[in-house]
Amino acid sequence: MTSLNEILAYNIKEYRRKIGLSQAKLAKKAGISLSYLAAVEVCSKFPSPKNLEKLAQALEIDTPELFSMPPTVEGIANKLRRDILADLEQKVGEKVNPAIRAAVNEVVADHLKEIEKQERVKKKK
C-alpha cells in the first residue's frame, strides 16, 4: 500500500515536471527552501497545511490534488480506451459500431498485458 507521504511526493514531482519547473524554481515560487522541498520529494519531511497550500498554489492546482492517487496502468488503459473511441466517433461523425469498439478494446487489452509483463520483469531486477 502506498503511504500518504509517497502519494504527495509523487504528485509534487509530477505536477512540477508537467509545468516545467525545477525543484529550485518551485521552491522559490512557493516561498520554501530548496532543501525542504527536496526532503518532501523523497518522503523525509511532510509539509504543514500552510506549506501544502503554498506548494499547490505554486503548482497552479487545488490543494486536494496533491493527494490524488497516482494513475494505475489499468486506469490509464481505461482512459485510453475511452479517448480512442471518443476520437473515432468525433472523426467519423457517428457512433463507433460494436465490432470496431470490440477491436479497440482488444488492442488496448493486449497492450496493457504487455505493459504489465514489462513491469513484472522490472520488479524482478
pLDDT tens for each residue of 113-122: 887 787 777 7
Q: pTM (2 decimals)?
A: 0.60
Q: Are residues 10 and 59 in the same domain?
A: yes
Do 33 and 27 contact (CB within 8 A), yes or no? yes
Q: What CA–CA distance (Å, rounded) separates 95 from 102?
A: 13
| CB neighbourhood size of 41 (10 A) | 17
Number of independent structural domains in the chain: 2
Residues 116 and 98 in one domain: yes
Whether residues 85 and 45 share a domain: the answer is: no
Question: Does residue 98 have a pLDDT over 50?
Answer: yes
- Mean pLDDT, residues 74-89: 79
Q: Residue 41 pLDDT > 50, yes or no? A: yes
Q: What residues contact 60, with CB distance under 8 A and at least 6 apart? A: 19
Residue range(s) defining the domain that contains residue 53 = 4-67
How many residues are present in the chain? 125
Report the percentage of the chain scoring pLDDT > 90: 46
Cα atoms found within 13 Å of the Cα of residue 59, Cβ hemisphere only = 24
| Whole-number Cα distances in Å, 66 to 25, 36, 56 | 18, 17, 7
State the chain's mean pLDDT as an integer: 87
- Identify whether residues 52 and 8 lie together within a single domain: yes
- Given 25, 48, 67, the domain boundary residue is 67
DSSP 27-96: HHHHTS-HHHHHHHHTTS----HHHHHHHHHHHTS-GGGGGSPPPPHHHHHHHHHHHHHHHHHHHHTSPP
Q: Quick one: pLDDT band at residue 1, thresholds 50, 70, 90?
A: very low
Taking residues 41-45, report their average pLDDT.
Answer: 94
